[in-house]
Amino acid sequence: MTLHAPATAPRPEQSVTARELVFDLVFVFAVMQLSHHLLEHLSWRGAAETLVLLLAVFAVWYYTSWEAIVVQATHRRTLMMILTVILLGLFMNASLTRAFEASSWAFVIPFLLIQLGRTTWTLMNAPDAAYREHYRRTLIWLVATTPLWLAGAATDPNLRLWWWGLAAGLDLIGTWLAHPVPGRRLHSEHMVFEGDHMLERCRLFLIIALGETVLGTGTALAGTTLTPVVVITGTAALIGTVALWTLGFGRAVHLTERHLARSANPVRTSRLAGNALTVMVAGLIVVAVANEQVIAHPTGHPSLTLTLLLFGGPILFLLAQGWYLWAVPGVWSRLHLAGSVLLMLAGVITLTAPPYVALILAGATLAAVALLDPGSG
């Protein structure tokens, strides 16, 4: 069955509300928690745990932000929904660093209450048949993965990653594919949706992740003696962060806004923005951890782990943004591809170099890429 969107007159455009900004504050805390978890568990398993938690946290932020737009954030009932998610989200995010230890239920119970409760609420308040059909399918997907989340919370911590990894992976596939169900499809062309609003929400979340990178750099500087090499590494870390900010809010924003202005499918434009943002935020968390590590031990021993953090994080950011430009505005960004290749080469070159040298080269490479972005001015 194919359900098409009704030909409904567009609603008045709404700007980001103060309640949405307060909601974002809970996720400033979440990104900090995720960075701390990765910093304390610098291993492949620690990276996998952080990724699973990031996917869960980002799903809560993304679905809630999206559904507040569908039902309109200015409505009183939407305010009550957002406040409920803020309360549950605070407890969920507080347990992130211990979710794979003794606090599995403290994480998974508020997470599931948010996901299932909010989606049911949106189904009941959806503005038209097309959205109601979509949220029925979304609820089916979420109910299907709920036993996996519960099994992970109940099992031994050593097995928890497998259960939660499978659940988070299926939730991610559902999100990226718009929750398909056999025989039921939803064409999003001409659906009424405030794409400008959702893209602005995505940019605000990107600022949250960039802010954590700056905060991590500042925290590391405050916790060590300001020797010349520490000052140099702190400066290089900040330059790299500013370069990523420039790329995140440069030409890509102009191209996306231009595409959205003439697009008949704002839902697709916004949905793919969320897909790309997931990877970009993951890259920024990795960057934050790498900067803290190098500033704390600028002349320490080089390692493959540190190289992967220093150069892998920015590569994730560039590749995700480059993919979005190709998938949505249809622009093939050679700059993002070339920047990723240069970062890989720089990582190979600095494999045996002191950490501060690697950070300086990473920052310089990102600064060069940012300066070449046509929208950097």
Helix axes 228-248, 355-372, angle to 10 degrees: 30
Query: Is residue 5 scored above 70 in pLDDT?
Result: no
- Considering the domain architecture, whether residues 201 and 167 belong to the same structural domain is answered as no
Where is the domain boundary, 154, 187, 220?
Answer: 187
pLDDT of residue 312: 96
Q: What is d(CA 345, CA 354) in angstroms, rounded to the nearest whole number?
A: 16
pLDDT of residue 105: 96
Q: Does residue 141 lie in a domain region?
A: yes
Where is the domain boundary, 161, 187, 213?
Answer: 187
pLDDT of residue 182: 81
Could you tell me the pLDDT band of residue 18, with boundaries at 50, 70 and 90? confident
Residue 138 contacts by C-beta under 8 Å, 6 or more apart in sequence?
Answer: 119, 174, 179
Of the listed ranges 16-20, 170-174, 321-325, the least confidently predicted one is 16-20
- Considering the domain architecture, whether residues 279 and 354 belong to the same structural domain is answered as yes
- Considering the domain architecture, whether residues 121 and 251 belong to the same structural domain is answered as no
123, 232, 279, 336, 350 from 330: Cα distances, Å: 33, 39, 19, 14, 35
- Considering the domain architecture, whether residues 9 and 143 belong to the same structural domain is answered as yes
pLDDT of residue 176: 86
Q: What is d(CA 345, CA 316) in angstroms, rounded to the nearest whole number?
A: 15
Q: Does residue 84 lie in a domain region?
A: yes
Q: Does residue 32 lie in a domain region?
A: yes
- Considering the domain architecture, whether residues 169 and 212 belong to the same structural domain is answered as no
Q: How many CA atoms lie within 13 A of 292 on its CB side?
A: 24
- Considering the domain architecture, whether residues 215 and 182 belong to the same structural domain is answered as no
**Domain range spanning residue 109?**
2-187
Q: Look at residues 344, 296, 302, 290 and name the one whose alpha carbon lies nearest to residue 319.
A: 344
Residue 297 contacts by C-beta under 8 Å, 6 or more apart in sequence?
Answer: 355
**φ/ψ (deg, to 5) at 217:** -65, -45
- Considering the domain architecture, whether residues 202 and 171 belong to the same structural domain is answered as no
Q: Does residue 215 lie in a domain region?
A: yes
Could you tell me the pLDDT band of residue 358, with boundaries at 50, 70 and 90? very high
Q: Model confidence over 268-321: pLDDT tens digits?
A: 899 999 999 999 999 999 999 999 999 999 998 889 999 999 999 999 999 999
Mean pLDDT of the chain, nearest integer: 90
pLDDT of residue 128: 83
Q: Does residue 377 lie in a domain region?
A: no
- Considering the domain architecture, whether residues 8 and 116 belong to the same structural domain is answered as yes
Where is the domain boundary, 127, 157, 187?
Answer: 187
Task: Check which CATH number belongs to the domain holding 326 and give it.
Answer: 1.20.1410
- Considering the domain architecture, whether residues 42 and 158 belong to the same structural domain is answered as yes
- Considering the domain architecture, whether residues 144 and 293 belong to the same structural domain is answered as no
- Considering the domain architecture, whether residues 220 and 276 belong to the same structural domain is answered as yes
Could you tell me the pLDDT band of residue 10, with boundaries at 50, 70 and 90? very low
Structure tokens at 186: 């939803």
- Considering the domain architecture, whether residues 335 and 360 belong to the same structural domain is answered as yes
Of the listed ranges 12-16, 200-204, 257-261, the least confidently predicted one is 12-16
70 and 131 Cβ atoms separated by less than 8 Å: yes
Burial 77-101 (b: 16+ CB within 10 A, else e): ebeebbebbbebbeebbbbbbebbe
Q: Model confidence over 60-118: pLDDT tens digits?
A: 999 999 999 988 766 788 889 999 999 999 999 999 999 999 889 999 999 999 999 99
pLDDT of residue 41: 92
pLDDT of residue 17: 79
Who has greater pLDDT, 130 or 115? 115
> Total domain count for the chain?
2
Q: Model confidence over 160-214: pLDDT tens digits?
A: 999 999 999 999 999 888 888 887 766 667 678 888 999 999 999 999 999 999 9
